Amino acid sequence: MKIALAQLNYHIGNFEFNTAQMIRAIEQARTEGADLVVFAELSVCGYPPRDLLEMDNFIEQCEVAAQQIAKACTDIACIIGLPTRNPEIKGKDLFNSAYFIEDGLVKAQVNKALLPNYDVFDEYRYFEPSLSSSCIDFKGFKIALTICEDLWNVNDNPLYVSEPMEQLSKEQPDLMINIAASPFAYNHDEERLQVLGDNCRKYRLPLFYVNQVGAHTEIIFDGGSLVFDEKGDVLDEMPYFSESIRYYEFEGKAVKGLAPKSELRQTDIEQIHHALILGIRDYFQKSGFSKAILGLSGGIDSAVVCALAAEALGPENVMAVLMPSEYSTDHSIKDAMDLVNNLDCKHELIPIKAAAKTFDEMLKPVFKDLPFNIAEENIQSRSRAIVVMALSNKFGYILLNTSNKSECAVGYGTLYGDMAGAISVLGDVYKTQVFQLARYINRDREIIPVNSIVKPPSAELRPGQKDTDSLPEYEILDRILFHYIEEKKGPEAIIALGFEPALVRKIIKMVNLAEFKRYQTPPILRISPKAFGMGRRMPIVGKY
């Protein structure tokens, strides 16, 4: 039996696009002599469809698309993913399903049993879990078909009380196939290899695993589909962050012609870089946009975002706006211009000194003789937001937010100012990682000026301002934030790691108090195991 794994980039709710590319893949696989083509979880509609699943018409279109795919599936079989209706009155109205299609007909339906309901996942909101599983007979083989999370209950602290493969293994299958929508995080590839390999070792079966690739607003899928032997050794690993179709000969209980191999793993920063490029590109393409705008300060955050956008969209589609104030230094303007010249992107120089002064004069009767403080600082930031949004409205640019995760965590940013934007590129990237990203971007030549990397970070909203006037050094801040956000440690546990108690409590208080700001930020491209946004739900008015 020749199996094709189709690792494709789907578009949520775009049935015409998804169906067409799946049919093309089937036709290509047929010409290559494949017997079976395997697509990803919810491939028909895209993942995650969220509350679109509550619309009857959406579910009807899924079934119509599935039947179109079935008509194209003659002389070959395929496995597709889609939501289907639950015929029982009791329970949720839908299943997260896989269709096994052969000779133009749906020959079998497998429903997902383990429904993740943590972090970015919310499947139990929509789907009923399956209580039974059966193998699929095809070409003289018994296939144990599962859907994503159904294979993720093999660790020492299982999240679920059932294990679908336990039931399927009683039918003595010849191989496992798992269709998935497994989101990217920079540490997730190694975890994925371990969990899937553990299933192979436990059931002494080879595994064909297909993931999807592409970004849907915040969530990025990295691909990396896999083939394992019965010992849990990796036989093949498909590309990350790009579409691919590969073919495998399966005979007996083994994949022919492949020996175990170990892929050289990309570093975290390499993975983050590739994920952000994909996230930007898909956000624009799938939304029908082409041109980006951002404020370019000469600092490292906006420089990295500008460089990423130029790579993702082409420098001709990126507008960098330099908006110096009376506190901006000459070297910041030079650093910004050096970057523009290195990238060859578009730019405008629009000073905001006059605008900020006008606001100061307008508010002077109300402010009276109160001293200069954060109010005047934020007026500068909001003046810049007015400028870039005006250009966005006039010329159709989409604003990229340039705030990093460290700033977003502690509220070091201005609502309706530098926190504005349609999509946040670095909102899940700590400041220390931003520096690493900059050096990675400069791996072949200097793109980001060295001075933007080495100079002390500053918002330049008052004379001589430095980030360290308000925050500890980023090396310390980011470690505390990581323990609190990603590892979910409490203050006492973090203090026990050797951090200064007063600083830990101050930082955690800043994180908690800034929750109201994060509720008003743009969607954040998720690259870590715990990103702000849909994967981290905290009360605004809670006290902890």
Catalogue the active-site residues: 41, 112, 148
User: What count of residues does the chain have?
Assistant: 544
The one-letter amino acid at 502: A
- CA–CA distance, 32 with 383 (Å, rounded to integer): 59
Q: 392: helix, coil or strand?
A: helix
Terminal CA-CA length for the chain = 58
What's the gap between Cα 311 and its chain centre?
Answer: 18
Give every CB contact of residue 11 below 8 A, 6+ residues apart in sequence: 17, 18, 46, 214, 286
Residue 360 burial by CB count (10 A; 0-12/13-18/19+): exposed, middle or buried? middle
The DSSP symbol for 204 reads: T
Task: Count the helix, strand and coil residues of the chain and give each as a percent rounded to the nearest 5.
Answer: 40, 20, 40
Show the tokens assigned to 139: 């070409």
Confirm if 177 and 145 have CB atoms less than 8 A apart: yes
Show the tokens assigned to 373: 């403080």
Give every CB contact of residue 537 below 8 A, 6+ residues apart in sequence: none
Q: At what angle do helices 268-287 and 300-313 cross, to 10 degrees?
A: 60
- CA–CA distance, 45 with 52 (Å, rounded to integer): 10
Distances (CA, A) of 428 to 293, 484, 519: 20, 14, 15
What's the gap between Cα 73 and its chain centre?
Answer: 32
Give every CB contact of residue 457 below 8 A, 6+ residues apart in sequence: 299, 300, 431, 466, 467, 474
